């Protein structure tokens, strides 16, 4: 029932090993991190994957690596194993055929490992639900990857000129993808005994969402590496889309096509009104502080009111506002609308 019996009958073995070892590694890492955080004292800056005492770039880079190389493949392989087992039970297949069918339809594998197909209404409906889950999972991974703190810093550092835009998308991004594909091609060539060029073409085509039939796989480890590269390219796709839709050149192009809206023109007036209101409130605080000083009470000249009614020192470091501006909201709305098209292509 399989086109490649050697790979198809045993593909689930490295997947199960990876899933089991991945969850075990994640649990051990989390226990150790909690112990360190408890010893130093828990703070609001502590995350699930990082500690508050790490440097900013260490936290952002490490969390992005964990997301790309562990959490995304772990979630994808876990879902594939679960859906494959349930579908095999519904259709009366062997569990291996169910798992192979699911991973073939998810686009994880470059070759077709089984010829089975759902024949019952329940199995067909479950297969449809499985593909809907794939679309939702793809949107989730792409969105999380594009909105990670590391990528947000990359977006802010991008030059807003046309030459900067072309330099990013014609030089930096191809070099990044080529280096990553080269690392995977080293593993794949050693597993399948291919030339380095053939392995590089295979991995690069997988990053691009293509399936080339010129390669014949003989080991399950080679298939696993290609499937792992599929999940990595999901996160890379999120980074690429985020860079595209966050670039100022795109916003200027949209404004060139649609013009400036009334809300955009009203923003300077609103900002001026808010500044005037804050200045008046500060003058009132100064007068109140002088009255309190005359009565022998501690002066509160440097204290201003927060939006929730609490007070804080005026000279204290302000907490940065991470809420998106109107322009960012427009960009993310466009980004969200194009996700279904990205999912359909993938």
Q: Average per-residue pLDDT in the chain?
A: 72
Contacts 24+ apart (CB under 8 A), 197-203: 202/110, 202/226, 203/229
The yes-or-no verdict on residue 31 having pLDDT over 80 is yes
CA atoms within 13 A on the CB side of 238: 25
Q: Which of 133, 225, 149, 244 is nearest to 187 (CA)?
A: 225
The model's pLDDT over 222-281, given as tens digits with 9 standing for 90+, comes to 888 888 888 887 777 777 777 777 777 877 888 888 877 655 555 545 444 554 444 454
The yes-or-no verdict on residue 325 having pLDDT over 60 is no
**More confident of the two residues 23 and 107:** 23
Mean pLDDT over 124-144 rounds to 83
pLDDT computed for residue 345 by the predictor: 38
Rounded to an integer, what distance in angstroms lies between the CA atom of residue 86 and that of residue 83?
5
Mean pLDDT over 59-82 rounds to 87
The yes-or-no verdict on residue 304 having pLDDT over 70 is no
Confidence of residue 293 (pLDDT cuts 50, 70, 90): very low
Q: How far is CA 16 from CA 66, 81, 253, 265, 295, in A?
A: 19, 8, 48, 57, 74
Listed ranges 18-27, 71-80, 208-217; the one with the highest mean pLDDT: 18-27
Mean pLDDT over 39-43 rounds to 73
Q: Packing angle between helix 220-245 and helix 121-146, nearest 10 degrees?
A: 50
Q: Residue 296, class by beta-carbon neighbours within 10 Å (0-12 exposed, 13-18 middle, 19+ buried)? A: exposed
Confidence of residue 19 (pLDDT cuts 50, 70, 90): very high
Rounded to an integer, what distance in angstroms lies between the CA atom of residue 322 and that of residue 132?
32
Q: Residue 235, class by beta-carbon neighbours within 10 Å (0-12 exposed, 13-18 middle, 19+ buried)? A: buried
The yes-or-no verdict on residue 313 having pLDDT over 70 is no
Lowest mean pLDDT among 103-107, 109-113, 240-244, 290-294: 290-294
The yes-or-no verdict on residue 101 having pLDDT over 80 is yes
Q: How far is CA 186 from CA 14, 140, 178, 203, 319, in A?
A: 19, 30, 12, 10, 46
- Residues in the chain, how many? 346
Radius of gyration of the chain, Cα coordinates, nearest whole angstrom: 27
Q: Which of 80, 71, 68, 110 is nearest to 12 (CA)?
A: 80
Confidence of residue 28 (pLDDT cuts 50, 70, 90): very high
């Amino acid at each position: 029932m399989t086109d490649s019996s050697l790979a198809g009958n045993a593909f689930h073995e490295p997947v199960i090993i990876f899933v089991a070892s991945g969850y075990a590694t994640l649990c051990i890492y989390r226990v150790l991190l909690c112990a360190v955080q408890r010893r130093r004292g828990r703070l609001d800056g502590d995350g699930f994957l990082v500690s508050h005492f790490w440097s900013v770039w260490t936290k952002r880079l490490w969390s992005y690596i964990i997301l790309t190389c562990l959490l995304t493949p772990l979630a994808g392989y876990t879902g594939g194993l679960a859906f494959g087992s349930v579908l095999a039970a519904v259709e009366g297949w062997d569990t291996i055929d169910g798992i192979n069918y699911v991973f073939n339809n998810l686009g994880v594998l470059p070759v077709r490992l089984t010829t089975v197909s759902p024949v019952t209404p329940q199995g067909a409906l479950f297969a449809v639900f499985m593909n809907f889950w794939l679309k939702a999972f793809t949107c989730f991974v792409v969105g999380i990857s594009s909105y990670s703190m590391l990528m947000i810093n990359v977006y802010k550092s991008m030059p807003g000129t046309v030459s900067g835009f072309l330099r990013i998308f014609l030089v930096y991004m191809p070099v990044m993808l080529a280096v990553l594909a080269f690392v995977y091609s080293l593993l794949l060539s050693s597993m399948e005994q291919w030339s380095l060029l053939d392995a590089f073409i295979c991995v690069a085509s997988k990053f691009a969402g293509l399936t080339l039939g010129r390669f014949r796989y003989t080991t399950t480890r080679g298939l696993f590496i290609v499937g792992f590269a599929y999940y990595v390219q999901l996160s890379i796709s999120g980074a690429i889309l985020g860079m595209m839709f966050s670039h100022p050149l795109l916003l200027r192009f949209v404004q060139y096509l649609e013009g400036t809206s009334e809300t955009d023109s009203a923003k300077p007036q609103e900002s001026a009104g808010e500044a005037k209101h804050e200045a008046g409130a500060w003058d009132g605080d100064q007068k109140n502080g002088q009255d309190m000083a005359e009565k022998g009470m501690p002066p509160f000249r440097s204290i201003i009111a927060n939006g929730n009614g609490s007070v804080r020192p005026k000279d204290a470091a302000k907490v940065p506002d991470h809420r998106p501006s109107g322009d960012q909201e427009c960009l993310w709305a466009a980004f969200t609308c194009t996700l279904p098209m990205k999912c359909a292509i993938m």
